[in-house]
Amino acid sequence: MSDDAELDELYQELIMDHGRRPRNTGVAEPCSHRAHGHNPLCGDKLALTLRLEGDVVADVKFLGEGCAISTASASLMTQAVKGRPVGEVLDLYHRFHALVAADAGDASAPDTEILGKLAAFGGVRRFPTRVKCASLAWHTLEAALRPEGASTVTTE
């Protein structure tokens, strides 16, 4: 893959769109779970709130400041997990992590059927310094869903 193609893959249209116009921003009200995400190396911050109804993520919103990759990741994550049971959400969390943190030489195609739009982040694996940007929202979501409840998660 040429250098510019790598860059185009990272900043593809879907990611640019969600980076500029993130969906589901704000605070979920009422909310049953929340967590703060922080990347101390770059200063990215994320406040995630969500409401479980039974076992299902009925609503999820975020507020934060960050780069296009981290903002788009948070935005697309909220769309992906809304309406899903917690078990499926955690499965997506693991699949997303495997997608972005995979060895850059790993050419295996992501499971786009399960990941859906999230597969757009497959290009992140070629940019080791940007993996934390893409994964901050997901780590924050996982922290919010932990049984012990509210917490702050940091990635560095």
Choose the stretch contacting other proteins; rule: CB under 8 A; options: 83-91, 98-106, 122-130, 147-155: 122-130
CB atoms inside a 10 Å sphere around CB 82: 18
Query: Whose Cβ is closer to other proteins: residue 55's or residue 65's?
Result: 65
Residue 144 found at the interface with other proteins (CB under 8 A):
no
Does 148 interact with other proteins (rule: CB under 8 A)?
A: no
SS3 at position 131: helix
| Shortest Cβ 43–other proteins spacing (Å) | 4
3 binds other proteins (CB under 8 A): yes
Smallest separation (angstroms) from other proteins to the CB of 68: 5
Q: Hunting for tokens 């911050």 — which residue is that? A: 45
Among 1, 21, 41, 146, contact with other proteins (rule: CB under 8 A):
41
Q: Does 123 bind other proteins (CB under 8 A)?
A: no
Nearest of 127, 31, 11, 129 to residue 73 by alpha carbon = 11
Smallest separation (angstroms) from other proteins to the CB of 120: 15
Q: Are 47 and 67 in contact (CB under 8 A)?
A: no
- Residue 106 and residue 99: Cα distance in Å, rounded? 10
> Is residue 130 a contact point for other proteins (CB under 8 A)?
yes
The answer to whether 108 and 56 have CB atoms below 8 angstroms apart is no
Kindly tell me the sign of the dihedral angle through the C-alpha atoms of 38, 153, 96, 64: negative
Question: Interaction with other proteins in 45-74: which residues (CB under 8 A)?
Answer: 45, 65-69
Question: What is the strand order of the sheet 33-39 is part of?
Answer: 56-65, 44-53, 33-39, 151-154
Interaction site with other proteins (CB under 8 A): 3-4, 7, 10-11, 16, 19, 41-45, 65-69, 127, 129-130, 133
